[in-house]
Structure 1
């Protein structure tokens, strides 16, 4: 049996390379399930071989080659028709011509091919997250604020529709890109958000994909807006935790630790969006974060401007989560009582941020007993250890 260090090495490669491996195999095989199974088999094989033979110089290449060979062997074993044998032979050919198209990056290519307009938007996003990042069903369900069984059914239906409708997995043409853009942007942003509260590598991957998108579609303002948004949020990472790993809320962060280069780049992208005057949800969110980044101190934040931007965001992309964030701005402009009325009208019962916001408002209104209950509810619902510790500390502070 491999020891813990061996398993950790394979797990690290899995986190870093699963999406790339699946995207390459999907391109070769044109079959989601077969690609996933082949990659998973390759990682199981690695768990058995690497402890004795050592981690290969190119772990990702080893996984992809092993997965491809496993898939070909399976096709040959299960095939009784010449067409399947021919397919296996084609895949074995080392000099098979690469499929041409505007999208050259394998992972970005997989996002565009998964975001087919024949699938519902949420199905596009959920399926791509599952394939790209190796994100579990539970993680994706949290992102969509839906029960895990509901999300699992959506994934099954999406794969079945692709299979039964004969939707091809191929490089989209230039003309196909705009129709798939909403799903692509949603995928990249959800990858970023998943990393924001957990794995920084996911944030780095989302930013990388955002930069590729900006090169591919420089005239799409929402692409520019999303990249600007991610850069401005990522700029605050160095100040989000203290030396002990405890979460530091935005108002309490040392702004001297913020990455000024990312802020300047993000603000420049926001200015480019403003010049185009075609506002969309990612551009507006980027503008909100640009206002935060402009303030030298938390007390100098222009909350009036932020509230106006949230009003605009509610007009173009209304949702309960946007309404919750708007309520935070209302608390700063009109007071916590007004904001609490807005929060209480929202149906986000299992969303931990709702309880955390409500707790802060109750604390500010001098209602500590109720605030403690809300902090405890938020701590139970969050999946982030750092957030849980922070919420539990807030609760303890009120009971001293």
Structure 2
């Protein structure tokens, strides 16, 4: 009687189930989330690559702690009902409440929850279910985190020659305005035939460290969209991807611990032309003057005499990065027609500052002059000065503040009182010169 490979797998599985059981890992992360491959007894990074022969529903490696050799998605969160696993096509892997070795568990894989973790267990062969599996589980703060792992069949794993990246990246300008300073853009590309565990990028041969995102493309079982954001420099960009593996396997006839790398690149070229904008003083709306492939442009209309404008020159090109806008201030004068006089912004600011300083100095001089004249006038009003004819010397009279009248009472006859000068008055007789 002939047995199929599926029948042999089930018989082997039943034989092991009769002697081997397992339990959940007792050690969880102190913070964040992680993936734990119990069969290899190691923590694996995000976007790792494994094969079906490393995932079981029992303790296949007979470790001392008798841990079920499933693929565990773990968190520092202490909840008992957390975590969800998803198939490569985006549908949820069924959750099972029975024992790992219960024959009624779903095929070919199912999930089972424990405190702070959820297991992905394989009950049957993975043919037709290969690809990128995703686990979403909350961290200790209750924020959902996503972990991805590539799972292949044993043969598919051994014959896989590593991830394949799109040879050309896609450019996307992130700045909402072409006048943004500096302009910001992103580069993105797809990776297939395996998860991109490691992504390293460079510009003009120099390594760069920037924000990186990896997202499984909807509708595909093994494609990842890699996006590098917050880029501002023009040049030749290259990104190399590879995936990490636990076990060495024959990759394209060679034994490698890691898959062959793949490279995606794009050259962000210099300007092929220029776009000129102007903006009137106190206006927030730039107006496009036009574009030119030359380094000069003539503006013959649209400007008003006596107005002040700021001009912006921005480079452009097909799929090219705009340059940082370079502003200059134009002050219009007249000589029969409008003439543009270009003055840099810095020079204008310096002139304004010098003019303000000159006005402050003039105001201070006028203030000091008025104050001095006022003080001299007050001093002259405190003295009484009499000027005599040229034949006499100028005499100064000084008086006391109190003067009382003196009456002559020697006569008995009542006569009108005679006012005598107060005895306290001092006289100085003019001297003839």
Normalized against structure 1, the TM-score is what? 0.22
Bigger radius of gyration among the two: 2
Structure holding more helix per residue: 1
